[in-house]
Amino acid sequence: MKRLHVLIIDDDRIYALGLKFWLRGLGMAGRTRACDAVPYDDEYESPDLAIIDPLMAGVPYVSLIREVKRRFPLCRIIVCSRSHWFEDGFAGRAMEAGADAFYCKGQPDDELFVTMLSLMESKLTLDSFAEERRGRRSATAVAS
């Protein structure tokens, strides 16, 4: 499996940095950035995966998820929170905004690991399908 480019958006710096080093220790993550907002520097490449705490102070979670999807449309998003995000329609609104999966902080790390693997496996399958289609179009164009 290729090493992932992971973006962690969380206002709990200790959790974000711990997650960053855990991912690197597993050998899953290559480039990893932990921050408390969506990065806007022009040279920042689209991450493969974003792990987002949706309950950051002063940031509406739907807006945050939508902004990540707008800025990085191919990025897969895991919503990662300490609270019971599945109550009061939270999960449905997060999915409508662009979230792909959920993880509750405090659950075993292997649950996050499995969630990441399944998301990235489906992304790689979609990416290879898109590349194959592009290859077929190119071959058709050359043959014409």
Would you kindly state where each structural domain of the chain is located, as residue ranges? 4-143
What global pTM score does this model have? Answer: 0.75
Instruction: Output b/e per residue, 25-62; b: 16+ Cβ within 10 A.
Output: eeebbeebbbeeebeeeeeeeebbbbbbbbbbeebebb
Tens digit of pLDDT for each residue in 19-68? 888 888 877 766 777 776 777 766 667 888 898 887 776 778 888 899 88
Whether CATH 3.40.50.2300 fits 4-143? yes
